[in-house]
Amino acid sequence: MFNKRHIVRTIAATVSILALSFTAACGSGQSTASNSTDSDDITQQTYKPGKLTIATGQPAYEPWVMNDKPESGEGYEAAVAYAVADKLGFKKSDVVWTRTAFDTAIAPGAKDWDFNIQQFGITDERKKAVDFSSSYYNDSQSVVVKKDSKFANATKVSDLKDATVGVMVGTLAYDYAKANIKDDIQTFNDDAALAQALDAGQIDALVTSTVECVYMVQSEQVKDAKVLGRLPDSEDKSGMGIVLPKDSKLTAAVTKAVDDLNADGTIKKLQDKWLAEYTTDLTELKK
């Protein structure tokens, strides 16, 4: 009798163990499937899963961002950012905006955002510290002077060799000015400081992107100023790219999004809507 009861208990225990093992295996399989799905979902690979944190400048200027309100989606870069977000699978309500300085955004190190859009020219040097998407715009560089400046009638780049020239540090304008205008130039941390310096007479001329130059004059950031002209051979061949943290999991997806937006004509439509008036009818200076 004892042996029978012992055998029954042994069989029951064995069945119970097998059942538990089967249940655990099923549970494990479900968990793995769930994790696998999450790992393939780009919306769960962001700085704050389920949200897309996008950074831009402080402040952000027109026509890139209208009224310094990127959340409105108005302005070329704000519109591009939301178009990319949509391609990644984020609703507009899932986008969170934050602000950064230009130079810190492209410095090495961890970031508290998913991507940053504020007219970053794509360069090999910057690629050592951050990732870039493909280009969403190829701008040129131009010069702004006061209308009463002794350089106001300059027609050649060489006419500016005796001017006190200001540029924003770490930009393509900086590289161009150093290589083609003069070696001794003054640098500023952002375009706001650059405009203030020209407005106050601390510099004779400033060099920055053509779109930004036109906006500075139209908005009277620099009073009684004019765009002297576009600088020859200054078009940014590499273009402006969206910046991502180095080796970001989102780089390939953001790049594909920009490529798709270029291919389907969205980028061209957004440029026509937000940038056309900033790039037409400008004189090009002679070399």
Q: Is 83 in the same domain as 162?
A: no
Residue at 19 is within a domain: no
The answer to whether residues 224 and 111 belong to one domain is no
Angle in degrees, 0-180, between the axes of helices 266-274 and 251-263, rounded to the nearest 10 = 80
Interval 209-215 mean pLDDT: 89
User: 179 and 134: one domain?
Assistant: no
| Structural domain that includes position 162 | 141-230
Q: Is the overall model pTM greater than 0.75, yes or no? A: no
- Note whether 274 and 145 are same-domain residues: no
pLDDT of residue 5: 41
> Are 183 and 204 in the same domain?
yes
- Segment 188-209 mean pLDDT: 95
266 in any annotated domain: yes
Shared-domain flag, residues 128 and 57: yes
The yes-or-no verdict on residue 161 having pLDDT over 70 is yes
Least confident of 4-18, 39-53, 243-257: 4-18
Whether residue 11 is contained in a domain is answered as no
* 81 and 161 co-located in one domain: no
User: What is the tally of structural domains in the chain?
Assistant: 2
Task: Give the chain's radius of gyration (CA, Å).
Answer: 28
State how far the alpha carbon of 187 is from the alpha carbons of 27, 31, 94, 174, in Å.
61, 55, 37, 8
Residues 157 and 133 in one domain: no
Task: Mean pLDDT check: name the lowest of 35-39, 119-123, 152-156, 213-217.
Answer: 35-39
Residue 287 lies in a domain: no
Give the pairing type, strands 186-188 and 52-56. Answer: unpaired
pLDDT digits (tens, 9 = 90+) for 141-156: 999 999 999 999 999 9
- Average pLDDT of the residues in 128-152: 96
Q: What is the CATH number for 191?
A: 3.40.190.10
Are 264 and 129 contained in the same domain? Answer: yes
Q: Which of 230, 254, 269 is the last residue of a domain?
A: 230
In this structure, are 82 and 222 located in the same domain?
Answer: no
Tell me which of 90-104, 212-226, 248-262, 266-280 is least confident. 266-280
Q: Please check whether residues 100 and 72 belong to one and the same domain.
A: yes
Same domain, 102 and 164: no
- The answer to whether residue 95 scores a pLDDT higher than 80 is yes
> What value does the mean pLDDT take over residues 208-227?
92
Domain annotation covers residue 61: yes
Q: Which pLDDT belongs to residue 139?
A: 87
* Residue of 114, 73, 66 lying closest to 92 (CA atoms): 73
Q: Is residue 133 part of a domain?
A: yes
Band (21; pLDDT cuts 50, 70, 90): very low
Q: What is the mean pLDDT of residues 59-67?
A: 92
In a domain, 195, yes or no: yes
pLDDT at 32: 30
- pLDDT higher than threshold 80 for residue 221: yes
Q: What is the pLDDT of residues 169-196, one digit of tens each?
A: 888 899 999 999 999 999 999 889 999 9
In a domain, 257, yes or no: yes
